[in-house]
Chain A
Amino acid sequence: MGLEKFKDRNVGIQQYKVVEHEAFPKSNAQKFARVMKRMVKGELFVGLWVTLRTMYQALFQDDMHTVKYPFEKLPISPRYRAIHEMLRLLESGHYRCIGCGLCEKICISDCIKIDTKYDENQRKEVTEYTINFGRCIFCGYCAEVCPELAIVHGGRYETSSQQRASFSIFEDMLTPIDALSSQKEYPGFGAVSPNADDNIKKTPLAY
């Protein structure tokens, strides 16, 4: 397609349809005549019939179109950024977070804090992890930077609370250990792209 079409700025003669309508009433007598004509025509009952029919379908024929929030919720896009979730490793059940602190570093509203220590298994243990949801702007950088896909955005979007204590700590966000089997891999922000294998060079291994 060429650009000629876009360069033609004469909008009046393009493929627009002109709506046919009566001439607007000019005198008061003409206006009065139009009102009277519409009243007698009974168009009001046409609209009323549509309403009654839908009401009948919803009440007696089980054809309801509204979502009963908060009892029902619509599915949201995987790319939606709601309250964070911390995932576990599927095999061991151990939390995926390695305590690298990249989420803390990248957080632009400075709401993530992490404490780590050297544990008895010579690993870096996360002793404390908090996100201050009062400050969080749900930008998704933490999920994107996480090298372990440990912190992701979940679907919980009701974030109002009466006190700060109800905002999450590590344990609240972590997949419950008994729900491990239902833990889903996150397809949203920071997830591995479907064609990731094509984009990396493989490292030779000697074992």
Chain B
Amino acid sequence: MSEITIKIDGREYKTQEGEYILNAARANDVFIPAICYLTRCSPTLACRICLVEADGKQVYACNAKVKEGMEVTVSTPNILKERRAIMEVYDVNHPLQCGVCDKSGECELQNYTLEIGVDSQSYSIPDTKRENTNWSSVLHYDAGLCIVCERCTTVCKDMIGDAAIKTGARGGEKLSKEAKDSMPKDAYAMWNKLQKSIIVPSNGTEHTNCSDCGECTAVCPVGALVSRDFVYSSNAWELERVPATCAHCSSGCQIYYEKKHTSIANPDEKIYRVTNEWNFVSLCGAGRFGYDFQNDVEGKDVEAFEQAINAFKKADTIKFNSAITNEEAFMLQLLKEKLGVKLINHDAKAFKDFLDSYSKASGSSLYGSDFREVMKSDFVISVGASLRNDNPNARYAFNNVQKMNKGAGLYFHPVGDMLVPTFGKSVEVFNHKVGQEEAVLYLILDLFGDKDKLPVQTKDYLASFHKTVKKTIKEKVMESVTSTVVDKETGESKEVTKKVPKMVDKEVEVDENGLVSILGGSDNFAETFEKMMKKKENFSLIIGEDLYFHPRARNLSRLVALIEDVCDMNLVMIPPRTNSLGVAMICNLDEEESGYIVGYNEHGHFRLGARGFSKLDIPALNQQEGTFVTMNKVVVPTNPALEYKGYELNDILNEFDIGLDETIDFTPKLARFDGFKDIEFDDLPNGYTNTGKENRGYIIDNISVEKQAVSVVEFNDSIVLEGEIAYRCNPQRQFNDFTDKSHQINEEFALYVSPSKAQTLEEEVEVEFDKDTTLKLKVVVDDRIDGDIVLVPDFKSHQNIYSIFGKDRYKTVTIKKG
């Protein structure tokens, strides 16, 4: 894309080619009113208020692209008339009780009514009774306030991918003929549509079947969509916004904690809601609703602190997980150096091993791309990630590529998913067997790889799967048919030759790809793939957690490196937990735990934790400052929203004389590790610019490392699992103990199964992993799962699920009656 110059109201501005006028104006700080448009989503054209004049023609700024030398006029007398009429129509029958509305003070309808100066009303129509409904456990829809701008439906379809809501019939009265004649054209068209529609769940019931991400409540310009918990609990202007980073998964989304005092009687601060820059970042349900996980402690528990010091003195192992900041990880590493203890972290260890092996094969320390690049691509492949559960942002990216870039997608996963195929017409799903991940990567090499760059051995190996077979296909041929026609008027008979299509059987030689059938692909995959590849230029590959927890992870990592090398793809990996990437870069992790274990937010002989059931309390991630490394390889800061009165890890370090004054004093010291920079915490920005450019923290540079000559080995079926299989995977919105603690997230610790599988199971079952390890779990049906594999969550650390699964993510189990 090249830079071009356009003129808005006579002034010259620079912008990118192919950009919409509205976005170009916004990026240059020029105000064009717009209600229904969402950046990163397709234009809805519901509000029509962004009407501008471009090169003498009236166009919608959200829908018209800029051209070199284009002259845009934001307001002409006619456009002003239209805008005024549109705003008047929006105010028709809109309740005037702004005082009780939750949106009051940050309402776009209020703002635009004032901006456009609507001080009188010229239109009217009888109102229709519209009921308040609760769509789900978190969504509250007040239809009376809705202006049907369709931002909610647009974001749900284009960004989230659920398409759980749509416009339905309102049952409103028809507009009069006089209105049509007397009103400005666009205002009439907008009103006509508004008067007919209302938002309803798209499954035809009263309740939405969605991932409860609450993004619809974030984008709603009025008070129609508010989370059930927040309704009437606080006015927008009373809340203090604390910019932070979501602590739940490796996306590290930028969020604002919004807080004020709990009540008149209780002056302690409380988080009331989480908001986001919805034009540039989309949250999931965990990020939006999982905010009240703070660790409330009365004060410093001196006795427990002494016990903790003693525990550290006699510790052999410190066990922790990756829901910690870089600073905490650094402090644990310092403790290891000082005390000679082992550091055990299951998720980060597997990821670190995979990364290390990958970088040896590829010659660079980290994967080459990030999710912002994935969003720009037009062909995206996901391997080894349960997209819906592992990382919501990876799923949004996958979906967004289908919707916005006319993209295509390949989804490889053993667990069937009902949602992913609905993302787009060109999404092909492979539900391969567990253990065939190597074959998947070989297939990707075969489909996208530049064969000349491949090592000869691999090239031959791939060729060995190809067979030329004779196949009978039906082909359309044009056949000439000659018939005699008698002309009615003249009576002459004439011979007419027509071409008529006819289907004939034809035997052709087809190249059959053995890998496709091994992976359970459809028979006509070759044709489908050909269609998918049309006009595609930019390819992305998402690698998920299944590959890190795999018996042949090393070979997989080499294959991934090889794919990145020969396929010209954006490669991204999803770190398993919040800060797995940061921990992997900072800590020197050990293999096996032994002796006396101090658990840091984990199971152990002595436990420190932010969940309340530990011996010594430590601050939760919304109570401390620090940094995370996101999956986009960015070091982002997070700020404390709530006060914490107890001890923190730095106090323990001070007892061993290796601590600093403040936890954030460790931030610049991170530069000791490759990739990190010597930048003070307070100098790290955390926001977005008008263009949507992420201005947060700093990017970790990809460092080239010594490339070692490694070769990939062939796959074999010896590791393929058969029978009853359990998959370590959290339900949507649950990631760790902290999401579990949040009162609005109620997905329980249970066995998640597909509807068909549930019919063969009791309500409660015992899952036997081996003779000594069994788990008693309730069976919960997730109707978006397909197939027989059952999902065992790992979000409760005291259940020690990582230890049960060990170095795999799949296990064969026996499921017994509970």
A residues adjacent to B (C-beta < 8 A)? 98-102, 104-105, 113-118, 122-125, 127-128, 130, 147-148, 201, 203-207
Q: Is B703 an interface residue (CB 8 A)?
A: no
In whole Å, how far is B660's beta carbon from the nearest beta carbon of chain A? 38
Contact A116 B122 (CB under 8 A): no
Query: Which of A99, A104, A125, A201 touches B120 (beta carbons < 8 Å)?
Result: A201
The total number of A-B Cβ pairs within 8 Å is 61
Contact B125 A118 (CB under 8 A): no
Contact B99 A147 (CB under 8 A): yes
Contact B264 A98 (CB under 8 A): no
Given contacts A105-B235, A113-B264, contact A204 B100 (CB under 8 A): no
Query: Which of B126, B127, B237 touches A105 (beta carbons < 8 Å)?
Result: B237
**Which residues of the other chain, A, contact B132 by a CB distance below 8 angstroms?**
122
In whole Å, how far is A144's beta carbon from the nearest beta carbon of chain B? 15
Contact A204 B264 (CB under 8 A): no
Contact B263 A115 (CB under 8 A): yes
**Which residues of the other chain, B, contact A122 by a CB distance below 8 angstroms?**
132
Q: Is B500 an interface residue (CB 8 A)?
A: no
Contact B123 A204 (CB under 8 A): yes
Distance, CA A206 to CA B178, complexed state (A): 14
Nearest residue, chain B, Cβ from A147: B99
In whole Å, how far is A114's beta carbon from the nearest beta carbon of chain B? 8
Distance, CA A100 to CA B744, complexed state (A): 25
In whole Å, how far is A141's beta carbon from the nearest beta carbon of chain B? 15
**Which residues of the other chain, B, contact A127 by a CB distance below 8 angstroms?**
263
Contact A98 B99 (CB under 8 A): yes
Given contacts A122-B132, A128-B265, contact A101 B127 (CB under 8 A): no
**Which residues of the other chain, A, contact B97 by a CB distance below 8 angstroms?**
98
**Which residues of the other chain, A, contact B121 by a CB distance below 8 angstroms?**
201, 203-204
In whole Å, how far is A202's beta carbon from the nearest beta carbon of chain B? 8
Q: Is B233 an interface residue (CB 8 A)?
A: yes
Contact B238 A115 (CB under 8 A): no
Contact B233 A116 (CB under 8 A): yes
Contact B235 A204 (CB under 8 A): no
In whole Å, how far is A203's beta carbon from the nearest beta carbon of chain B? 4
Q: Is B683 an interface residue (CB 8 A)?
A: no
Q: Is B78 an interface residue (CB 8 A)?
A: no
Residues of chain B from 125 to 146 with CB closer than 8 A to chain A in the complex: 125-127, 132
Contact A207 B127 (CB under 8 A): yes
In whole Å, how far is A3's beta carbon from the nearest beta carbon of chain B? 40
**Which residues of the other chain, A, contact B781 by a CB distance below 8 angstroms?**
none
Contact A116 B263 (CB under 8 A): no
**Which residues of the other chain, A, contact B673 by a CB distance below 8 angstroms?**
none
Contact B126 A117 (CB under 8 A): no
Query: Which of B122, B125, B238, B264 touches A101 (beta carbons < 8 Å)?
Result: B238
Residues of chain B from 103 to 124 with CB closer than 8 A to chain A in the complex: 104, 119-124
Knowing that A101-B238, A104-B235 touch, tell me 13 more A-B residue pairs with CB under 8 angstroms.
A99-B232, A100-B98, A100-B104, A101-B99, A105-B237, A116-B232, A117-B233, A128-B264, A147-B99, A201-B119, A203-B121, A204-B124, A206-B124
Q: Which 10 A-B pairs have the closest CB atoms?
A: A100-B99, A206-B124, A204-B124, A201-B120, A118-B232, A124-B232, A118-B231, A124-B100, A203-B121, A101-B235
Nearest residue, chain B, Cβ from A207: B126
B residues adjacent to A (C-beta < 8 A)? 97-100, 104, 119-127, 132, 231-235, 237-238, 263-265
Contact B232 A148 (CB under 8 A): no
Nearest residue, chain A, Cβ from B126: A206
Distance, CA A25 to CA B97, complexed state (A): 79
Distance, CA A207 to CA B126, complexed state (A): 6
Nearest residue, chain B, Cβ from A130: B264
Given contacts A99-B100, A105-B235, contact A115 B126 (CB under 8 A): no
Contact A100 B122 (CB under 8 A): no
Nearest residue, chain A, Cβ from B98: A100
**Which residues of the other chain, B, contact A100 by a CB distance below 8 angstroms?**
98-100, 104, 235
Distance, CA A56 to CA B421, complexed state (A): 105
In whole Å, how far is A118's beta carbon from the nearest beta carbon of chain B? 4
**Which residues of the other chain, A, contact B124 by a CB distance below 8 angstroms?**
203-206
**Which residues of the other chain, B, contact A118 by a CB distance below 8 angstroms?**
231-233
> Can you report 29 A-B residue pairs in the complex whose CB atoms are below 8 A from each other?
A98-B97, A98-B100, A99-B232, A100-B98, A100-B99, A100-B100, A104-B235, A105-B237, A113-B264, A114-B264, A115-B263, A116-B232, A116-B234, A117-B232, A117-B233, A122-B132, A125-B232, A127-B263, A128-B264, A128-B265, A147-B99, A148-B99, A203-B120, A203-B124, A204-B121, A204-B123, A205-B124, A206-B124, A207-B126
**Which residues of the other chain, A, contact B234 by a CB distance below 8 angstroms?**
116
Distance, CA A81 to CA B227, complexed state (A): 40
Distance, CA A98 to CA B101, complexed state (A): 10
**Which residues of the other chain, B, contact A130 by a CB distance below 8 angstroms?**
264
Distance, CA A205 to CA B121, complexed state (A): 10
**Which residues of the other chain, B, contact A98 by a CB distance below 8 angstroms?**
97, 99-100
Nearest residue, chain A, Cβ from B262: A115
Contact B233 A104 (CB under 8 A): no
In whole Å, how far is B103's beta carbon from the nearest beta carbon of chain A? 12
**Which residues of the other chain, A, contact B123 by a CB distance below 8 angstroms?**
204
Distance, CA A105 to CA B122, complexed state (A): 33
In whole Å, how far is B118's beta carbon from the nearest beta carbon of chain A? 11
Distance, CA A99 to CA B263, complexed state (A): 14
Distance, CA A148 to CA B132, complexed state (A): 24
In whole Å, how far is B137's beta carbon from the nearest beta carbon of chain A? 15
Distance, CA A104 to CA B238, complexed state (A): 9
Distance, CA A98 to CA B238, complexed state (A): 17
In whole Å, how far is B176's beta carbon from the nearest beta carbon of chain A? 10
**Which residues of the other chain, B, contact A148 by a CB distance below 8 angstroms?**
99
In whole Å, how far is B606's beta carbon from the nearest beta carbon of chain A? 41
Distance, CA A147 to CA B264, complexed state (A): 23
Distance, CA A206 to CA B179, complexed state (A): 13
Distance, CA A102 to CA B119, complexed state (A): 22
Distance, CA A130 to CA B264, complexed state (A): 8
Distance, CA A128 to CA B264, complexed state (A): 7
Distance, CA A148 to CA B232, complexed state (A): 18
Distance, CA A205 to CA B123, complexed state (A): 8
**Which residues of the other chain, A, contact B238 by a CB distance below 8 angstroms?**
101, 104-105
